[in-house]
Structure 1
Amino acid sequence: MQFAESPVTHPRGADPRGANWTAKLRAVGLRTTTQRLAVLAFLDHNPHSDADTIFRGVRDVLPTVSVQAIHGIVNDLSAAQIIRRVNLADSSSAQYETRTKDNHHHVQCIRCGRIEDVDCTVGHAPCLTPSNTHGMRIIETDLTFRGLCTDCEREEK
């Protein structure tokens, strides 16, 4: 499959392109479809993409796919925890990524909106301990660092 977007290198050799998506889909009771595999392949190379970006990225190989179908696919895949839905305060829509279950965080440029992964600072989940858990057992931490990327900072000068 060829996609318009460029491949992305993942930290610490965690390259999800080697994942067996067919086995993962079947393990959670989802059928392996061309559309699901195309979405997963696109997200491997383009993490933090929203549904519209995924749609534009896969429509060359799936010309009959609709935006509604993409929304349904990402909802199914995120519900099955095959992909992760990322909701950031300064983003107009949810983004999706294939990097799941490792409790990583994100850094987001406040000007251009670029999002990058930040590995857990301690190395085990959760990375942070709240001052008051209100009686809850903490399972994960969702933290977003916000700043200016080097490109946007250069433009400011």
Structure 2
Amino acid sequence: METTQTGASHPSQQEWAEQLRSNGRRVTKQRLAVLDAVDAMPHATADDTVRRVRQVLPNISVQSIYVVLADLTAIGMVSKFEPPGSPARYETRTGDNHHHAYCINCGMIADVACAVGHSPCLTPSEDHGMKLLSAEVVYRGICAQCQQDMANSSAVQ
């Protein structure tokens, strides 16, 4: 699965540590390893994250990584989204209410900037008295490479 992320910055271990402390969390090697793994692989699944973290911490349990992912998501250092028919994905790009384009053929995921430049990016017909903070949008389609592959396979037949 290919993934694209725009405007990505890669915080240092010190920046991660400061963010953890400011969110009332202890700085642990497990949290730092998960943050580094998710940052290195935007739109990674939990299983992708486990494989990457175990390169640094071979004895960490799968459960520990899931707990860290859930906690980092809860405090907003990691965001989680669930493409249709795919496991949940994680990324360190947070706070900008961006969206995602998802290829239904190969699973490629690309970041898409907020539709109107500010949250919640959509104007619903009814807000039910809520102050809306964000909107999650997944654009489903077929990526350029898959379109090309389909066109080539049709031309061969």
TM-score, reference length from structure 1: 0.86
Identity within the alignment, %? 46
- TM-fit CA distance, 1:90: 2.3
- TM-fit CA distance, 1:60: 1.4
Which residue of structure 1 lines up, in the alignment, with residue 48 of structure 2? 53
- TM-fit CA distance, 1:9: 7.3
2:101 and 2:140 in contact (8 A); partners too? yes
What runs of 5+ residues in structure 1 fail to find an aligned partner?
1-7
**Could you list the per-position Cα deviations for residues 73-96 of structure 1 after superposition, in whole angstroms to 9, with x for gaps in the alignment?**
1011111111111122221x2111
Which residue of structure 2 lines up, in the alignment, with residue 29 of structure 1? 24
Which residue of structure 2 lines up, in the alignment, with residue 67 of structure 1? 62
Aligned residue for 1:120, secondary structure, equals coil
TM-score, reference length from structure 2: 0.86
Which residue of structure 1 lines up, in the alignment, with residue 154 of structure 2? none
CA distance in structure 1 between the partners assigned to 2:83 and 2:30 by the alignment: 26
- More off after superposition, 80-89 vs 21-30: 80-89
1:42 and 1:54 in contact (8 A); partners too? yes
**1:88 partner letter:** P
2:5 and 2:42 in contact (8 A); partners too? no
Q: Which has the higher contact order (CA 8 A, sep 6+)?
A: 2
1:9 and 1:15 in contact (8 A); partners too? no
**Could you list the per-position Cα deviations for residues 43-102 of structure 1 after superposition, in whole angstroms to 9, with x for gaps in the alignment?**
1121111110101112111111121111111011111111111122221x2111101111
Which residue of structure 2 lines up, in the alignment, with residue 126 of structure 1? 120
**2:73 partner letter:** S
CA distance in structure 2 between the partners assigned to 1:26 and 1:66 by the alignment: 24
2:4 and 2:111 in contact (8 A); partners too? no
CA distance in structure 2 between the partners assigned to 1:128 and 1:18 by the alignment: 33
Name the Cα RMSD after superposition: 1.9
What runs of 5+ residues in structure 2 fail to find an aligned partner?
152-157
Aligned residue for 1:74, secondary structure, equals helix
CA distance in structure 1 between the partners assigned to 2:131 and 2:44 by the alignment: 31
Rg bigger for which structure?
2
